[in-house]
A and B are shown apart, each in its own frame.
Chain A
C-alpha cells in the first residue's frame, strides 16, 4: 500500500519482465501508480494487475491537485489489468494517464505508445483518461471495460485526422480524446530522418483523405479542403526523443491521409517508421498522400532491409488485387499533380521503416540547347512579330519563350503591355531596350547559355527596369541539373547576366536622433532620394530588433529632412557630428536606400492553398554540365550594380 504521498504511491522505472500485483494506492498527489519505462520485454510480459487506486478518500479533499490513478510508461509493451479506480471526481483528476515523465526534456519520448488495458472498473470517476504531454497516447482496450465499445476497441488522444473517422467518436470530458470501435486499429507512425533541415520546427498538417471524403469534391473544393488547416491535425515538430526531430502521431488504420508541411516545404528525404511487432496481419493499411512541388522524376523508396521498391507499385498492386506491402508507392510528377503516395502496414515483421529520397532528374533535367548557330548581330525587337520567325503572335500570357543561341533580341515591350510568361530561356542575347521603363513578368527566367543585359558598366540603364518573378509555393518548380535545387519563381544564371542601374546616393548617417513613434528625421543633405522610395535605419542600441524600414513620404534634399509614411518603431541615434574623430568609430545610425531603378522582385498576389502568404523569389548563379554529347559546361556569372533585390529568399 502506498498512500498520502506527495508524488507517487508506487513508481517503477526501466522495468523488464516485471509484474506489479495487488497494489493499493490511495490519496497520492501525482499518481497512485506510475510506470516510467519498460525495457527489453515482449508484449504481454510487463504488467500491472489486481490493484486498487483511490483518488481521494474521506480523509483528503484533494484540494489543489489533479492526480492520475495510473500513469502508463513512455514505452510500448505494457498491460494494465484488473484495476479498480475510485473517486477521481474533482478538478482534472483522472484514472489513467500516459507517457510517464514525457513533460521533462531529458526523459521525454515521441509518444503514441500503445498500452493494453483490461478488466478496469471505475467508481465515481469523472475522467477515465487524461493524456499527458505530448498528448498522443494509445490505449488498446482488450475487453471493452475502458471504452464501453467492446473488446479490442481503442482510446487515443484527440487528433482531428482520427476524430473525423466514422469508426471513432469524440468524448473530451470522459476520455480526453477519441474512442474507436474494433473495426479499426490505432497505430503509431513516425516521420523523421528528413532533409533539408529547413523542415526543422515546421508543423505537419494531416487531413483525412479517403475517397469517401474527397471523391465528391470539385477541384476548387478540394484545394480549399487541402489548404484549410482547421480541417485536420497540425502536429508539432519535436526535437526529442526516440527518434529525435520527428513528427509522431497515432493514425486510425485502414484510412488514407493527406500530409504536407507548413509553408508548403518539400522534403528531399523522409523516413517513415512503425513498430511492426505492434501491427497484426489483419490491421488495415494506412496510405499517405503527400504533395511535392519540386521535380521528382523518381523517388527512391528503400526499406530498412535495403530493399528498393520500384515506383508505381501501388498502381501495380491495385491492378493485380494483391496485398499491399509497406513501401508500395505511386509517384506523380505531372506539373499540376505532384504527389507521392505510400502504403504503410506491419505485414512483414522485419520491415520497420521506409525512406523516401526524391530524385529531381534521372540523367538530363533539360533537353540540350536547340539549334546552336553562330551569333547573328541583327537587332530583333520583342514587339516585332517578324523577328520571331514563324510565330503567329509575339509571346502571350502563359507561354514558354526561348531565345535561340544566335538571336540578338531587344526587350522593348511597354510596361503596360507586359505579358505574364511561364518561362524565358536565354541562349542568345536578351537586352532591355533603353528609352522607356520595362517590366518582364515571368515565372522562371533562365539565362542558360546566353546573356541578359540591362544597361552595362559604362551606360547604366537610364529608365526603370523591373523583373517580377511570378508564382506561389506550388507552381512551376523545375531543375536544370539533378544536384542543385533550382526551385521556382526564380532567376537562374548559368550564362551571363549584366544588370547596371542608374547610380544612386545610397548611404547616409542619421543627423538627428529618432525615438519610437517619430516619423521625421534628418540625414545628409543633397541626397537624390525620392518620395515613395524605401530606406532602412539600422538599430543603434541594445534592442536588436529595432531596425526600421521607412517609405519616404516627404524629402527635402536641401535640408536633409525626411518624413516617413508611418512612424518608426525603434530608437536610432543620430548626430550632426561624427564621433569617429573623438572615439574612433562613427556611432550614428546607418541609413541606406533600398530602392533602385532596376528591381528584381516577387509578385505579391500569388498565394497558394498551402501557404497563405506571397512566396519569395530566388536568384541562383551556378555552373553545370549540359547533358549533350560534348558535356558542354555552362558558367554562371552575375554582375549587378545599383540593383534592388526585393522579397527574394
Chain B
C-alpha cells in the first residue's frame, strides 16, 4: 500500500490487517495527513511501514511483525542499507505522532527515526 504525493486529502487506515506481501507493507512518500491506527502489518520485505518526505502523520497502536530483507532469499545481517526495518520515518518526515506501536520479528531495525533538521526545507514534492 502506498501513499505517494497524497497531499491535499486525508486518509485513515484503522483496525485493519495488511499482510503477506513480497515488498514493503505501507509506504508513505511525499504525502500529508495520513493516519494509521490499530492496524496489524505483517509479513513483508524491506519495510513494514516506511514514511519518507512526508508530514502530518499519526501512527498509533499499530503492530508490525515479520519484516525480512527479501522474501525469496535467506536474510543476511550485512546487507542492511536504506533503513530497512519494521517502522521507519526518514528523509525529512516531520510533524509525526507515533505512540504505542509494537514491532517484532524485523530482520533489521524495529524503529528507525531520522528526523528532519530544524529549519530544514520541505521536501521537494512532485508538481
Contact = CB atoms under 8 A, between A and B. Distances in A.
Nearest to B42: A536
Give the most central of A544, A619, A649: most B CB within 10 Å: A649
Nearest to A618: B2
A640 B6 contact: no
B67 to A, nearest CB: 9
Contact of A590 (B1, B63, B73): B63
B14 interface: yes
Contacts of A649: 1, 21-25, 44
A538 B63 CA distance: 9
Nearest to B104: A538
A512 B4 CA distance: 42
Contacts of A592: 17, 40, 42, 63
B40 A545 contact: no
Contacts of A636: 6, 9, 11
In the complex, which range does the number of interface residues on chain B fall in?
35 or more
A391 B24 CA distance: 41
B8 A642 contact: no
Contacts of B107: 544-545
B3 to A, nearest CB: 5
B15 interface: yes
A483 interface: yes
B73 A201 contact: yes
A635 B16 contact: no
B127 A625 contact: yes
A640 B16 contact: yes
Contact of B105 (A197, A538, A595, A618): A538
Interface in A571-590: 590
Contacts of A619: 1-2
Contacts of B126: 483-484
Contact of A621 (B2, B18, B65, B73): B2
A539 B14 contact: no
Give the most central of A546, A594, A622, A625: most B CB within 10 Å: A622
B62 to A, nearest CB: 10
B18 A645 contact: yes
B4 to A, nearest CB: 5
Contacts of A496: 9
A538 B65 contact: yes
Contacts of A504: 15
Contacts of B43: 536, 547, 549
B5 A624 contact: yes
A504 B17 CA distance: 11
A623 B1 contact: no
Contacts of B44: 649
Contact of B9 (A547, A623, A641): A623
A620 B2 CA distance: 5
B106 A544 contact: yes
Contacts of B21: 616, 647-649
Contact of B70 (A201, A545, A593): A201
A639 B40 contact: no
Nearest to B25: A649
B98 interface: no
A620 B4 contact: yes
Contacts of A241: none
A398 interface: no
B17 A593 contact: yes
B114 interface: no
A563 interface: no
A595 B8 contact: no
B10 interface: yes
B20 interface: yes
Nearest to B5: A622
A448 to B, nearest CB: 14
Contacts of B31: 621
Interface of B: 1-25, 31, 38, 40, 42-44, 63, 65-66, 68, 70, 73, 75, 82, 102, 104-107, 126-127
Interface of A: 197-198, 201, 483-484, 496, 503-504, 506-507, 534, 536, 538-540, 544-547, 549, 590, 592-596, 616, 618-625, 633, 635-649
Enumerate the 10 nearest inter-chain pairs by beta-carbon distance, A residue then B residue, closest first: A649-B21, A637-B9, A547-B66, A592-B40, A539-B105, A538-B104, A594-B17, A635-B9, A619-B1, A649-B23
12 contacts: A507-B63, A534-B19, A616-B21, A616-B23, A618-B2, A619-B2, A621-B3, A637-B11, A639-B12, A640-B16, A643-B17, A649-B44
